[in-house]
Amino acid sequence: MYDPDGEQPLGGTAAAFATKIDGSKQPFDDFYYFEQIKIETVTPLVAPNDGEGAIYIIGRHFRDDFKNAKLGCRIGNVLASA
């Protein structure tokens, strides 16, 4: 969830973020710290070699309510969306 202005995700801790290049400070958007995800179960534990079928990942603290968030899963070189 976002704050009422839609600017910051709720539940995270913001920290200012900037780099210094040749003595000049270059600010960026705030960096947010969130609780790490916790994976509780993954099913099936064994799947066909052809890669067909669904994989279910159950856990906590998955988030997609902040800028540029894209939940997904990569297995080998294949990236699937959630």
The domain spans of the chain are 1-34, 36-82
16-71 pLDDT tens trace: 778 888 888 888 777 777 788 899 999 988 877 776 778 888 999 887 776 667 77
- Classify 78 in phi/psi space as left (phi over 0), alpha (psi -120 to 50) or beta: beta
Task: Specify the pLDDT at position 1.
Answer: 43
Of 64, 82, 70, nearest to 1 (Cα)?
Answer: 64
- Check: pTM over 0.75? Answer yes or no: no
